[in-house]
Structure 1
Amino acid sequence: MFSFLGFFTSLTLLSAGFILTSSAVMDSSDRSNGSTFLYFAYGSNLLKERLQLKNPSATVYCVAKLKDYKLAFGNHKGLASQRWHGGVATIEHSPGDEVWGVVWRMNMSDLESLDRQENVKMGTYSPVEVNVSTSGQDLSCRTYIMNSCVYAPPSPQYLQVIVMGAEQNGLPEDYQEKLRSVQTNKYEGRLSVMEELEKALNKSKERTEEIEPDD
């Protein structure tokens, strides 16, 4: 769909190998002294380059699932997102369902930025603590739930970012297929946030090429 998707596969391969080991080597001391926190992302922030646009400290902790919730798309009080031109992701309680996502470890210095991205002060989203499951353990994480959600389909661009993030981090294939099957509003305009992401993804590609060994 976009020019930067062609090189995304190489980034995915590198990221997948990292995710398998990241939770095993992560030190919990930073969390215990309050300098970092865990954030569970399920929407566009699944994609590393998207989250790091405004939150540079974010590093992958692990892939995890949130039980008894489902993914939904909509807008706060029905006001369409100016950034994404369509519905955006939220989660809602739904017994028996599950939402897969990525747990990021972030510095407390990025907490205000993350809240600002989610429009917490405007009341669009509320931060909540949820327990997610991964590799036989439960983790307490910060995440966000939309207030006064009015259902609306996402733009193709927004959905593509979510799908890219799911691929990048190796979410279960059946869940990836579920994401790909979401119906969009077919918006075809260019979005400024996509232009920012294209630049960030190009930089990631360049870094990946620099560290890849020669055949």
Structure 2
Amino acid sequence: MTELNGDHFNYFAYGSNLLKERIHVQIAGAEFISAGRLPHYELIFAGFGERWQGAAASVREKKGDEVWGCVWRVPNSFAAELDLQEGWYDRRTVSVETAAGPVACRTYVMREADGNENKPSPHYKLVIVNGAIEHALPPAYVDRLKKVEDNGYRGAVQVPISFLKSLL
């Protein structure tokens, strides 16, 4: 199974890169393909990232659970930039279920996430929720995201997303 397809690769985003405005900050060539489901994985928040002032999203295997996200078509010329953005994550190829059938995708899994769970900043959570809404992920999944407890941080973050100014 390979996520490569000629001059591009398929990328499964489940965190802040769900939001079109966010992914285009660094990966301007990304093109939305489809919503997708990663079966037998769960969404977790772990570590602490200076960029977002809170925990970051990751996935880990968990039978019976699922993670929804976006399949993006990314030009190979942006591969190094995406790897840099996901610096403390390991690249993995996964099979994502879409309306058109299974799609092999690159995704990223946080190194040493187990046992290091934490709360995301309200900014990060808001970007994820808005990305899920923007790409019509299932309402029950969006509700699950809305219920994630954040860390209450109210200062600035290092990612230029227009609607985040309301949190300052």
Which structure carries more helix by proportion?
A: 1
- Look up the equivalent residue of 2:95 and give its one-letter code: N
> Could you tell me how far apart the structure 2 residues matched to 1:93 and 1:155 are?
24
Compute the displacement of 1:32 (Å).
Answer: 7.2
Task: Determine the structure 2 residue equivalent to 1:161.
Answer: 127
Task: Determine the structure 2 residue equivalent to 1:113.
Answer: 81
- Look up the equivalent residue of 2:11 and give its one-letter code: Y
| TM-score, normalised relative to structure 2 | 0.91
> Could you tell me how far apart the structure 1 residues matched to 2:30 and 2:82 are?
10
Q: Equivalent of 1:49, from 3, 18, 21?
A: 21
- Look up the equivalent residue of 1:186 and give its one-letter code: G
Compute the displacement of 1:142 (Å).
Answer: 0.1
> Could you tell me how far apart the structure 1 residues matched to 2:157 and 2:15 are?
17
Query: What are structure 1's unaligned runs of at least 5 residues?
Result: 1-30, 200-215
In the alignment, does 2:56 pair up with 1:84? Answer: no
Aligned length: 159
Q: Which aligned pairs between 1:8-87 and structure 2 lie closer than 5 A?
A: 34-75=6-47, 80-87=48-55
State the SS of the aligned residue for 2:26. coil
Choose 1 or 2 for highest CA Rg. Answer: 1
Compute the displacement of 1:33 (Å).
Answer: 5.7
Task: Determine the structure 2 residue equivalent to 1:19.
Answer: none
- Look up the equivalent residue of 2:28 and give its one-letter code: P
Distance 1:34-1:45 versus aligned 2 partners, 3 A rule: same
Distance 1:33-1:163 versus aligned 2 partners, 3 A rule: closer
- Look up the equivalent residue of 1:50 and give its one-letter code: R
**Deviation string for 1:57-78 (max 9, x for gaps)?**
1010100100000000001xxx
Task: Determine the structure 2 residue equivalent to 1:152.
Answer: 118
| TM-score, normalised relative to structure 1 | 0.72
In the alignment, does 2:154 pair up with 1:188? Answer: yes
**Deviation string for 1:163-206 (max 9, x for gaps)?**
0100100000000000000001101112231xx2118xxxxxxx
* Alpha-carbon contact 2:4-2:10 (below 8 Å) kept: no
Distance 1:106-1:136 versus aligned 2 partners, 3 A rule: closer
Distance 1:107-1:153 versus aligned 2 partners, 3 A rule: same
**Deviation string for 1:74-131 (max 9, x for gaps)?**
01xxxx2100111000000000000000000010000000000001xxxx11000000
> Could you tell me how far apart the structure 1 residues matched to 2:30 and 2:95 are?
19
- Look up the equivalent residue of 2:130 and give its one-letter code: M
Task: Determine the structure 2 residue equivalent to 1:127.
Answer: 91
Write out the 4+ residue segments of structure 1 that deviate beyond 4 Å after TM superposition.
none
- Look up the equivalent residue of 1:153 and give its one-letter code: K
Compute the displacement of 1:136 (Å).
Answer: 5.1
